[in-house]
Amino acid sequence: MGTASEEERERPRLYMISPAEIDLDSFETAFRDALAGGDVACFQLRLKGRPKEEIIAEAANVAFLLNDDVRLAQELKVDGVHVGAEDMPYKQAREILGPDAIIGVTCKNSRHLAMEGGEMGADYVAFGAFFPSSTKDNTTKAEPEILEWWANTTTVPSVAIGGITVENAEGILRSGADFLAVGNEVWGYRDGPKEAVAAFNRVIDKVMTT
The CB-side HSE value for 87 (13 A sphere, CA atoms) comes to: 20
φ and ψ at 82, to 5 degrees?
-110, 130
pLDDT tens digit string along 2-24?
544 445 899 999 999 998 888 87
Query: Is the pLDDT at 130 greater than 50, yes or no?
Result: yes
Give the span between the Cα atoms of 89 and 155, in whole angstroms: 22
- Residue 139's nearest CA partner among 160, 168, 158 is 160
The pLDDT value recorded for residue 6 is: 42
> What is the CB neighbour count within 10 angstroms for residue 26?
9
> What percent of the chain clears pLDDT 90, i.e. is strictly above it?
81
Average pLDDT of the chain? 92
Mean pLDDT over 56-71 rounds to: 94
Give the span between the Cα atoms of 122 and 188, in whole angstroms: 31
pLDDT tens digit string along 79-116?
999 999 888 999 999 999 999 999 999 999 999 999 99
Query: Is the pLDDT at 59 greater than 50, yes or no?
Result: yes
The pLDDT value recorded for residue 48 is: 56
pLDDT tens digit string along 74-87?
999 999 999 998 88
The pLDDT value recorded for residue 145 is: 98
Confidence band (pLDDT; 50, 70, 90) for 55?
confident
pLDDT tens digit string along 133-149?
766 666 899 999 999 99
Residue 13, beta-bridge partner list: 179
Q: Could you give the C-alpha distances from 44 to 65, 126, 155, in angstroms and in order?
A: 5, 13, 22
pLDDT tens digit string along 148-190?
999 999 999 999 999 999 999 999 999 999 999 999 999 999 9
Confidence band (pLDDT; 50, 70, 90) for 46?
confident
Residue 126, beta-bridge partner list: 106, 159
Confidence band (pLDDT; 50, 70, 90) for 51?
low
Q: Would you list the DSSP string of 74-135?
A: HHHT-SEEEE-TTSS-HHHHHHHH-TTSEEEEEEET-HHHHHHHHHHT-SEEEE--SS--SS
The pLDDT value recorded for residue 133 is: 77
Q: Are 196 and 40 in contact (CB under 8 A)?
A: no
- Residue 160's nearest CA partner among 26, 15, 49 is 15
Q: Are 103 and 93 in contact (CB under 8 A)?
A: yes
Which amino acid, residue 156?
A: V
Q: Which CATH architecture has domain 13-209?
A: Alpha-Beta Barrel (3.20)
